[in-house]
Amino acid sequence: MTERRALFPDMSPTRWSVAGVVLLALCLFPLAESNQYVLTVFVTSMILAVLNISWNFVLGIAGVWNFGQLAIYALGGYGAGILMLHTSLPAALDVIVGGLMAAAISIVMAVPTLRLFGIYTSLLTFAFAEVVQYVIENTSTGLTGGTFGFPSVRGLYGSLSPVVAMHAYYWTVLGIIVISMVGVALLSRSRLGIGLRAIRDAPGFAAARGVSPLRYRMLAFALSGFLAGVAGALYLSFNQSIAPTVMGLTAMSIDVTMLVIGGLGTLFGPIIGTTIVAVVETLLVSYPGIEFTVVGAVLLVIVIFVPGGVVGLASRVRSRLPTWNARPRPGVMGSGSSPPRPAAALGDGVPALHTSDGQER
């Protein structure tokens, strides 16, 4: 138990029990629910959750502004699909190989981002995704099925009856979510996670300390790409097909909204965000068309008014209570470009933190 606490520092015993109950309920849910539509919504959302966990790792924890994750996801799906269609390998192996292919492409995508900063990275990765989509839609090789989508495949559990297959997919995806969450939690506390955050927050300093951006970021992209690719392969498998629309602008908006609403860079953010958006989408299903407009509006409101997403909001509310009275002590600060000020001016040796609103601009 102590080991676990170290792994999830935010988790109190109460929260562990809540999480346990939720997980147990999720495990048992398909046995109680016989409506195949509801289960389909659940599995689809859970597959998206896997994708979002992988994206959150690169975007939130490694801090690389990668907007090409959906291309990796789609490529994992297409890769697995091509294997299922043209080889006789076991389907589970196809899913894993699809994930590995996605990881490889993700590494390739990582190379140019190593030299670029901020917005250039997002542009380049975004353009990468668009190009991948364009090629999938327009290639004349016939491998992808173009805009019409991939030819039908049997998928992972194609030999089972539909109802049993639904349960199998449900538990498989749920298992992958649990494994990947534990994995992300472990990785965040590992050398890799600490190194990634160091590169994110202070690239120069991290490099000077021997944290190699090359190795760390490549590894982050590889791991996240693998998970995204597996998610894509699961999507293909579950839907027995895949189409370029899984990675279009609309799909990307939905996923970005999920991440932002949940809270970028947090462990539970992707899950919470995916759940909220999936619920909203399901509620709006009888008003076709307005769902994306609503999702876009929600995204705007959350980004502007709730910067840390739901997880950030929750932790702010919690931390507010004890520190309500402890207002920061006024210290004397110099203007931005002044050289170090006399010690006397600092007041009781309060460390001179950098000004929060970047005076030097």
Partner 1 sequence: MTDLVGILVTTVILGSIYGLVAIGMTLIYGTLRILDMSQGSMVMIGGFVAWGVLVSAGWSPVLAILFAFAATFLLGTATQLVSVQPLMGRRNSIDFEMITFITTFAVAMILTNVALEVFGPEQRNVTPVISGSVDIYNGVNLPYQSIAMAGVAILFMVGLWAFLGMTRWGMAIRAVAQDLDAARLMGVPVSKLYPVTMGLASSLAGIAGVFLGSLYFAYPSAGNLPLLEALIVVVFGGLGSLSGTVYAAYAIGLIQAVTEIFIGTTWDLPILYGVIIVVLIVRPQGLRGKPSEARL
Partner 2 sequence: MNEPLLEIRSLSAGYGSATVIQGLDLSVRAHESAVIIGPNGHGKTTLLRAIAGLVRASEGEVRFDGVPINGRSPERIAASGVVLVPQGDGLFPEMSVEDNLLMGAFVSSSWRRRRESLERVYSLFPQVKERARQQARTLSGGERRLAALGRALMRTSKILMIDEPSLGLAPIAIDAVYGAIAELKERETTLLLVEENFSHVRGVADSFHLLEMGTIVRTGSYDELVKDEEIASAYLGSAVES
C-beta closer to partner 2: residue 203 or 334: 334
Residue 340 binds which of partner 2, partner 1, none (CB < 5-8 A, kind-dependent): partner 2
Of the candidate spans 25-33, 46-54, 69-77, 330-338, the one that interacts with partner 2 by CB under 8 A turns out to be 330-338
Which residue of 9, 13, 322, 330 would you call a contact of partner 2, by CB under 8 A? 330
Beta carbon nearer to partner 2, 140 or 324 = 324
| 242: nearest Cα among 252, 253, 232, 255 | 232
Nearer to partner 2 by Cβ, of 14 and 325: the residue is: 325
**Smallest distance, Å, CB 345 to partner 2?**
6
CA distance 156 to 90: 8
DSSP for 138-156, written as a single string: H-SSSSS-GGG-PPP---T
Which residue's CB is nearer to partner 2, number 86 or number 361?
361
Least Cβ distance, residue 143 to partner 1 (angstroms): 14
Residues 329, 241: Cα–Cα separation, whole Å: 61
> Cβ of residue 264: shortest distance to partner 2, in angstroms?
23
> Measured from the CB of residue 326, what is the shortest distance to partner 2 in angstroms?
11
* Shortest spacing between CB 163 and partner 1, in angstroms: 34
Rg (the chain; Cα; Å): 23
- Write out the DSSP string of 56-96: HIIIIIS------HHHHHHHHHHHHHHHHHH--S-HHHHHH
Amino acid letter, 331: G
Q: Answer yes or no whether residue 344 interacts with partner 2 by CB under 8 A.
A: yes
Q: Measured from the CB atom, is 202 or 332 closer to partner 2? A: 332
The residue (of 183 and 203) whose beta carbon lies closer to partner 1 is 203
Cβ-proximal residues to 262 (8 Å cutoff; 6+ apart), any chain: 52, 268, 269, 270, 271, 272, 273, 274, 276, 309, 310, 311
- Buried b / exposed e over 158-184, threshold 16 CB at 10 Å, is eeeeeeebbbebbebbbebbeebbeeb
Q: Interaction with partner 2 in 270-329: which residues (CB under 8 A)? A: 327-328
Binding site for partner 2 (CB under 8 A): 327-328, 330-335, 337-342, 344-345, 353, 355-357, 359
